[in-house]
A and B are shown apart, each in its own frame.
Chain A
Amino acid sequence: MAIAAPSISSAGASTQPGGGAALAAEQLSIFYSDKEAVKKVDLSFAPSSVTALIGPSGCGKSTFLRSLNRMNDTIASASMKGSIWLDGEDINAPGTDVVTLRQRIGMVWQKPNPFYKSIYENIAFGPRYHGIKNKKELNEIVESCLRRTALWEETKDRLHQSALALSGGQQQRLCIARALSVQPEILLMDEPASALDPVSTAKIEELISELKQEFCIVIVTHNMHQAARVSDKTAFFYMGNLIEHNDTNIIFTNPENKQTDDYISGRFG
């Protein structure tokens, strides 16, 4: 099956070489009962890039994000139309294995949500489910994930203590490390730094820039500066519609749409 990447309004959708997979939504509408939260959105994400989704609260950007790894399946009233293509395959096709899909598309939430287990077990949780039983192999995964999120030095002496004893920023980095542990190709982040202090936020942003080399990252954020700092492309959502999608520097300096301009300069929303 060919990649059905829609080229509408996506100025640079051409796939770049590098890690990660290509993800694209085509005419995607999402409903909560009768309410249409996302309206016919066409949006594609290139490998090794960071796309920021911005827009006022309730504009559908989080709902859109959650649909990309089918987290909306857990909400009974949610339903959708349209398709989402991952490397040319429809993730909502009847035969799709959700477990594998979610392994390929990892997710990080606004509020850190470590399991009520030790730091080690938090990271070993995912790999265990994907069949890795070897203790040595697990140790290596834990160490490399913690190193990549710059947590190793802070936690190597207390790997078997409760993850809940970590600070908020450390917990969030642990959650990112946990998402990395199953070797995803795409990382979805729903306001990953909005509950953190400036220092932790800077660490998370630094981390995103590093992870960009290997992953396709989609990040929802309310922080305009953060979007401008970390992302390559920015998509502006308003009332469930995708208003504008373009290179970040164009969106922030010379947006085509008046609504985008107003939102970015803080005149509404």
Chain B
Amino acid sequence: MKATIEPSTRSSEGANPAAPTPGEAVSQPMNVSSNQSTGGKPSGNKPVARKRSRSGNEWFGKTYTMICVSVLIITIFSIVYFVASKGLATFFVNGVSLKEFLTGVKWAPDGEPQTFGALPFITGSFMTSILAACISAPLAFCAAIFMTELMPKFGKTVMQPVIELLAGIPSVVYGFVGLSVIVPFLRSVFPGQGLGIAAGAIVLSIMILPTITTIATDAMSNLPRGLKEGSYALGATRWQTISRSILPAVLPAMLTGVVLGIARAFGEALAVQMVIGNAPHIPNSLFESASTLTSVITLSMGNTIMGTVQNNVLWSLALMLLTMTFVFIFIVRVLERRSLR
């Protein structure tokens, strides 16, 4: 707390002599310094002591904050640099063509000849996360409407904590449940092994449900009360009020929630890997074994040696994930800016 408050007072004080503000603002620092010069007298002692301890605090707070911030910045940049240098080495050192990497459909790093087509993983990742969002978003929106508009009391005391609890379950548990419940179910209903995009998407949809629900609920409960009353007063029914005046108002926030949900699904590795089957090809149906960017990284990283092309190409996949995360964050920023208007 001290560290965050002190620098701000310090900076405002430091700004005063520099800015030509009239009157008191300028005269105050001058008074303090004149006290300091007459520090020998007993009457001047107290202000001087206070000034010293304050500047000591200032110094400590400022340094502490600077250290923390620089550690953070250095960490972030080194991660990005590390992933990027390793990932780009595939193309610049090992000479794999970027076109083959992005559009090739055959993945055989140990084959003869070696091929590095990552398209199956890219499509797998996009399909699972977008499908998961398609399943999850309607559920989350309805849950949010239910919790804020229809049964606020039950929603706040029971439903919201339960949905938030979903966020705390470890992903290995989700994967295990998916493997023991969803996969056999899909196997018995649809043709195929049950492992595949559909199973992955269902597991992910439950994992991202809390993200979307929480954001949608917050947006709805933060709406001005007058908005709803204004609609009722014009003779609109409850459903008309929800669909025509509340939903348009929270739409940007809801889209933000969906994008964050997709981002989370995109980066999830373990649970997906357990239920998707991990076959390195583009599946013909949703119930056929497939792979994602994350699942192929977790599966292959133990079997490669640092510095080899097989290892570097995994870093290229990681770089791809990192880039996509940046894109998602950028989209969220744009949506937020629009909702402020």
Q: Give Cα A30 to B339, complex, Å.
A: 39
Q: Give Cα A162 to B339, complex, Å.
A: 12
Stretch of A46-54, A133-141, A175-183 at the chain-chain interface: A175-183
Q: Give the nearest-CB partner of B252 in chain A.
A: A116
| A109 is an interface residue with CB less than 8 A from chain B | yes
Q: Give the nearest-CB partner of A165 in chain B.
A: B341
- B237-255 interface code vs A (CB 8 A; 1 in, 0 out): 1001000110011000000
Q: Give the nearest-CB partner of B230 in chain A.
A: A113
**In the complex, chain B residues whose CB is within 8 Å of the CB of A165:** 341
Query: Is the beta-carbon distance between B341 and A115 smaller than 8 angstroms?
Result: no
Q: Give Cα A110 to B12, complex, Å.
A: 38
CB distance from A76 to the nearest CB of B (A): 9
Q: Give Cα A181 to B341, complex, Å.
A: 26
Given A125-B244, A129-B240, A164-B341: A115 and B235 interface contact (C-beta under 8 Å): no
Query: Is the beta-carbon distance between B249 and A179 smaller than 8 angstroms?
Result: no
- B218-260 interface code vs A (CB 8 A; 1 in, 0 out): 0000001011111111111100100011001100000000000
Query: Is the beta-carbon distance between A111 and B236 smaller than 8 angstroms?
Result: no
Q: Give Cα A126 to B241, complex, Å.
A: 11
| A226 is an interface residue with CB less than 8 A from chain B | no
Q: What is the interface residue range for chain B against chain A?
A: 10 to 19
Query: Is the beta-carbon distance between B232 and A102 smaller than 8 angstroms?
Result: yes
Q: Give the nearest-CB partner of B224 in chain A.
A: A113
Query: Is the beta-carbon distance between B249 and A71 smaller than 8 angstroms?
Result: no
**In the complex, chain B residues whose CB is within 8 Å of the CB of A251:** none
| A41 is an interface residue with CB less than 8 A from chain B | no
**In the complex, chain B residues whose CB is within 8 Å of the CB of A74:** 228-229, 232
Query: Is the beta-carbon distance between B227 and A113 smaller than 8 angstroms?
Result: yes
A-B contact pairs, 26 of them (CB 8 A): A74-B229, A98-B235, A99-B237, A102-B234, A106-B233, A107-B233, A109-B230, A112-B226, A113-B227, A113-B230, A114-B230, A115-B231, A116-B249, A117-B248, A125-B234, A125-B236, A125-B244, A125-B245, A126-B235, A126-B236, A129-B234, A129-B236, A129-B240, A130-B235, A179-B234, A181-B234
